[in-house]
Amino acid sequence: MIGRFRVFFGFLAGLLFAWMCHPAPLPRLALGLAVALAGLLLRGWSAGYLSKGKRLAQDGPYALLRHPLYAGSFLLGLGFVVAGTHRYYEIHAFIVVAAFLTLFFGVYPRRIVEEEATLEKTF
């Protein structure tokens, strides 16, 4: 159930970010983009080990992290938040950070519980 809303809220967060972001100065921008790239790479690496419904992923990134796809999503979002918030726009930065943290920690822990229950039934 939460999966449908996760995508919808992700689009809303993207729109909010596009409206309120102000690129940070170059060092912070580069740091944010590096963190986002790390998240993207982790997600790509993790997705390569999935065979949904066929086997339980236990190797690759799944041997290191319990939820590498979600960790990658967190890093990706965090990177964009770091790169897109400027200290001269404090209220916008506060809103973007608050929205990111609220949505991520409001949606993903519930999704993890649902997913783990499904995995326990299947495997």
- Token output for 116: 């783990």
Do 16 and 100 form a contact (C-beta atoms < 8 A)? no
Plot region of 60 (φ>0 → left; ψ -120 to 50 → alpha; else → beta): left
pLDDT tens digits in sequence order for the chain, 123 residues long: 566 777 888 888 889 999 999 999 999 999 999 999 999 999 999 999 998 878 888 999 999 999 999 999 999 999 999 999 988 899 999 999 999 999 999 989 998 999 899 888 888
The two three-digit tokens of residue 26, written as one number: 């170059």
pLDDT at 1 (0 to 100): 58
The residue extents of the domains of the chain are: 2-122
Spatial distance between the Cα atoms of 108 and 104, rounded to a whole number of angstroms: 6
**What's this model's pTM, rounded to 2 decimal places?**
0.89
Cβ neighbours, 10 Å, residue 49 = 16
